[in-house]
Amino acid sequence: MKIHNLTAALLIFSYALSACSSASRLNENNWLPPAPGTVIDSLSEPVKDDTLNNFLATIKIVADSNSALGIYEIETEFGPNLAINKFSLPKGMTKGAPKLKKTEQKYTYIVGFTLPSDTTFYDYYQVSFDKQTTKMQYIKSYYYAEDTK
C-alpha cells in the first residue's frame, strides 16, 4: 500500500512539473500583457527639502487597457502634488518590460525598458520633480523591428 501511495505521489509530482514547464514555455512564446491596474515597477524616496512635512517622491509604472500595445501609465506623487501621464514603448515593441531607475540628480528618475532576450536597461523617458513642477519627457528614441524568423 505504501508503494502505491508513493507511486501516485510521484506521478502527481511529474504531471505538475510538466504542467509548470509547459506553462512557462507558453508564456515565452505567447506573451500576455499585464492586467490593467498592475503596478509594473515603482520607486519612492523621502523629500528631504521639506523638514516640516513627511512627504515622499513616488513614481509608478502602471499597466492599463492599452498595455498590450506598449502603452503604460506613469503615476507620480511629490508630497501633495499628483501627476498622471502615459508613455509608449518604441513603435512595434509590445513585449518590452518597462522599468524604473533613480538617477544621481535630485528627484529625477528614468523610465526605461529591457527586451525579452536582453537584460540591458535602455533609458527612454525622464521624470523629475521640484517643489512646484513635475516634468515628464522622452529623452531618447529607438527603432524596433521584431525578428521575422
The CA dihedral of 18, 22, 23, 26, to the nearest 10 degrees, is 180
pLDDT for 134: 94
Instruction: Give pLDDT tens digits for 70-120.
Output: 999 999 999 999 999 999 999 888 888 899 999 999 999 999 999 888 889
- Nearest in space to 43 (alpha carbons), one of 63, 21, 61, 66: 61
Instruction: Give pLDDT tens digits for 52-81.
Output: 888 999 999 999 999 999 999 999 999 999
Which residue type occupies 102? K
pLDDT for 146: 63
User: And the C-alpha cell for 139?
Assistant: 529623452
Is-above-0.95 flag for pTM?
Answer: no
pLDDT for 29: 58
- CA-to-CA distance for 148 and 103, rounded, in angstroms? 36
pLDDT for 27: 45
Instruction: Give pLDDT tens digits for 2-54.
Output: 444 444 444 444 444 444 433 333 344 567 889 999 999 999 999 988 888 88
pLDDT for 32: 85
Higher-confidence position of 147 and 39: 39
